[in-house]
Homo-oligomer: A and B are copies of this chain.
Amino acid sequence: GGAGEIGMNLSLYGTAGKWLMVDCGVTFGDDSTPGVDIIMPDISFIANNVDDLLGMVITHGHEDHIGAIQYLWPQLKCAVYTTPFTAELIRSKLGYVDLERTVRIIQPKDGKFEIGPFKGEFIPVTHSIPEARMLALTTKHGTVLHTGDWKFDPDPIVGPPSDTERLKQLGGEGLMAVVGDSTNALVPGTSGSERGVQNEFIRLFGEIKQRVVVTCFASNIARLKSIAVAAQRNGRYITLAGRSLWRNAEIAEECGYLPEFNDFLSENEAMLSPRDKIVIVTTGCQGEPRAALCRIAVDDHPEIDLDAGDTVIFSSRDIPGNEKAIARLQNNLIARGLKILTPDDHPVHVSGHPAQEELTQLYQWTRPRLVLPVHGETRHQQEHARIAQECQVPHTLIPEDGQIIRLGPGVHEVVTEVQHGRWGLDGKVLRRIGEGASKDRKKMSHSGAAVVTVVMDAKGKVVRDPQVSLMGLTDSNAETAISENLAALAHDAIEAMPKSTRIDDAAVRHAVALAVRRHINEVYGKKPVTDVHIVRV
């Protein structure tokens, strides 16, 4: 396992012929995967060995760690081990597929659990969502620390700081390997504290004279609390725009993380309040076209209406690939006379991932024999490995997707490679991306499609004018001549065949497709996906 550029997390740990899965995440499709919005790992390998899968451990509740459970669990049917807040997030998603009562979610007491040959222990760490956990996984061969996503935030606003004492203890006990987050391995220094963001909000909300809008990830409960506290200090009320924000805030309140939730206004109440008395938190920080902020930006939100002079704060980083969508959103907001603040100009965001000094600190404390940098692109993984080496970690290995790696006993090494890749939720069906239907649609998106029906008698004489459907090749009824030409060419192509082969459907199909594709390529410069229907009368 191990995440690449695309960000879905799913790892497998094995011993004594048994497997334990850690995390089960998705990533999101884009224009390069038309028709596929949700992408997850191809789990053929473990699905084929499902009897030996003892369970699934979830480190925290981000989509790239939990998002695939609802789609893949039916093939796995194993118990899910996680924390209360994460469990609620998972249940909320399972509700969409009627699985919320079926899936057994176990919340280990004191964060410790035993599953067959595996002993697991959750170690609380800080991250941009409550209840993130590192997983210390012990077998008779030793202990592996799977970090999940983490940072060292001394003042995280929601939940306790990272349990650094336990990490130091693990170092003392002797750690076989760390499998760890590389996301910010290229960032010098430390990731910073949520407290700093809260202080900046307190300052800004006082300084700004009109409405304040803040957009951030819906699962960032500490950010939401920082906003709520800063709003309260400045005599502003808070409302939420976006269903996922309301849902996440409600779960956070149920878990005791957001007592402020009960004071939140409805969107409607907020719009009736004076402009200097309100803070609106919205989804859409990545420029997602259907999220609240994008709809607000084009004046298409049912409740919320902004005015020139209001301020929008982007309290998040730009996820790679979303730059254009975010720029488009910001341009729309600016065109309406709104002011924009971003992390480029104000300290309104801190990352949830460890920067270089935090990685160094982790390895100074845990002193593993081996580090496997995961969760990041090659450049992040290599830099992560370099940092580990500087901390005198004796071995590093950069894993690739699908590799089975022996961590111990004895020398670590890549043992074999198993089937891996990406499954996309293609409508209702999980399919491998870039193959089959997905590949065909990509081809059609470039070159269109053509289907010809020819009607022949048993001897191979064409007895009707061929019919031609051109799809994605012509603009309008203005281009009907081409269909007539193609019908004539299909007719000619059959007539040009030796009589003996005209009774062979495959031969006719081939000849007609060839003639049609050739002409379309001459006229339009396209080689469409082609099919031929043969009717014998």
Contacts and interface: CB of A to CB of B under 8 A. Distances in A.
Contacts of A440: 448, 471-472
A273 interface: no
B436 A474 contact: yes
Given A449-B471, A535-B535, A427 B328 contact: no
Contacts of A429: 524-525
Contacts of A379: 327, 330-331, 334, 340
A476 interface: yes
Interface stretch (A28-36, A229-237, A261-269): A28-36
A124 to B, nearest CB: 32
A474 B34 CA distance: 15
Given A320-B324, A469-B451, A469-B531, A474 B30 contact: no
A525 B438 CA distance: 14
Nearest to A463: B537
A475 B431 contact: yes
Contact of A475 (B31, B324, B340, B437): B437
A461 interface: no
Nearest to A450: B451
Interface of A: 5, 30-32, 34-35, 320-321, 323-324, 327-328, 330-332, 334-335, 340, 377-379, 382, 426-429, 431-432, 435-438, 440-442, 444-449, 451, 453, 455, 464, 467, 469, 471-476, 523-526, 529, 531, 533, 535, 537
Given A323-B320, A471-B529, A523-B428, A476 B535 contact: no
A449 B449 contact: yes
B448 A437 contact: yes
Nearest to A446: B35
Nearest to A448: B441
A467 B469 CA distance: 14
Contacts of A533: 451, 453, 467, 469, 533
Nearest to A523: B428
Contacts of A428: 523-525
B437 A473 contact: yes
Given A321-B324, A533-B453, A335 B446 contact: no
A475 to B, nearest CB: 3
A21 B237 CA distance: 54
Contacts of A32: 31
Contacts of A476: 436
B535 A441 contact: no
22 contacts: A5-B327, A31-B32, A34-B34, A34-B445, A35-B447, A320-B324, A321-B323, A331-B377, A334-B378, A334-B379, A334-B382, A437-B472, A440-B471, A444-B445, A451-B451, A451-B469, A453-B467, A455-B535, A467-B533, A469-B531, A472-B529, A535-B535
A321 B446 CA distance: 20
Nearest to A337: B382
Contact of A525 (B30, B427, B464): B427
Contacts of A328: 5
A321 B326 CA distance: 11
A310 to B, nearest CB: 15
A242 B153 CA distance: 48
Contacts of A453: 453, 467, 533, 535
A290 to B, nearest CB: 15
10 cross-chain pairs, A with B, having the tightest CB-CB distances, nearest first: A427-B525, A436-B475, A445-B445, A441-B472, A428-B525, A31-B31, A34-B445, A331-B378, A35-B446, A451-B451
Nearest to A531: B469
Contacts of A525: 427-429
B330 A34 contact: no
B436 A444 contact: no
Contacts of A327: 5, 320, 377, 379
